[in-house]
Amino acid sequence: MKYINALLGLLGVFSWIFAYVLITRRGLKDKTYGMPLIPLALNLGWEFVFSFCFPLNLYSQVTNALWFFCDLGIVYTYFKYGYSSFNKFYGLEKKQWYFISVFAFLIGFLINFLGYKFFSQYLNHFPSAEIPVLTAWLILLATPACMLAMFFQRRNSQGQSFIIISIMLLGNFFFILQFFINPFYYKWSNPFLVLIITVSVVIELYYAKLLYKQLIKEGLNPWKRF
């Protein structure tokens, strides 16, 4: 069983690595960014904190660091192409956009850094090794919600693809299976935690459905757009 658990973890890790690479690639091709600022800042903060500040073990440190360095590609597309979107939709000056962006990344780091300290000190019945999992799923709840909002705002498929959201869903599916077969995660049968995961998956499925239809509407093959 431990080998199955390890395999599921690796499949989840590499699914998300692949998704990050494709988001960067799509952003470069479409000259835009594919992940909204809020989840991008929270993701990058999470990966940095649990790679370099509070690594739980060598395996998690390496995998989180891989995610972090892959995410830097998305950060590059955000700073290279992001201003035009913010100027179009919010009428921001470039200095304002830079300030908001840097501030968001700082807050993303602090939420994860201080959040870990808070949970580890005051939630005595929540193992330290599960804290990154909890915060990760809270971020994963925000990620598809913000991507859906970005989709409604842009009203097109720029920076996005059905393949990317499918790989994200697949990666989450592997991690969810881990919870069911690994007794370490017994707390994840709690209704609150199940709700977080369920809502996240439902939003991802809804976003995937809308994006699929949009690609068809634009005359693009959803299965060939990476």
CB 77 within 8 A of CB 33: yes
Cβ atoms of residues 137 and 188 within 8 Å: no
| Residues whose CB is less than 8 angstroms from the CB of residue 144 and which lie 6 or more positions away in sequence, other chains included | 165, 168, 200, 203, 204, 207
pLDDT by position in tens, the chain (length 226): 677 888 999 999 999 999 999 999 999 999 999 999 999 999 999 999 999 999 988 999 999 999 999 999 999 999 999 999 999 999 999 999 999 999 999 999 999 999 999 988 877 777 777 888 889 999 999 999 999 999 999 999 999 999 999 999 999 999 988 877 876 666 777 788 889 999 999 999 999 999 999 999 999 999 999 9
Per the rule left: phi > 0, alpha: psi between -120 and 50, beta: everything else, 219 is left
* Residue-level pLDDT at 183: 67
Q: How far is CA 41 from the centre of its chain?
A: 10
What letter represents residue 146's amino acid?
Answer: C
Q: Are 141 and 199 in contact (CB under 8 A)?
A: yes
Give pLDDT, residue 107. 98
By the 10 Å C-beta count (0-12 exposed, 13-18 middle, 19+ buried), 21 is classed as middle
Answer for the pair 170, 18: CB distance below 8 angstroms, yes or no: no
Q: What phi and psi, each to the nearest 5 degrees, are found at residue 186? A: -60, -30
Give pLDDT, residue 4.
86
The three-class DSSP label of residue 121 is helix
The answer to whether 203 touches 148, Cβ cutoff 8 Å, is yes
Do residues 20 and 78 make contact, with C-beta atoms less than 8 angstroms apart?
A: no
- Which of 23, 52, 59 lies closest to 163 in space, CA to CA? 23
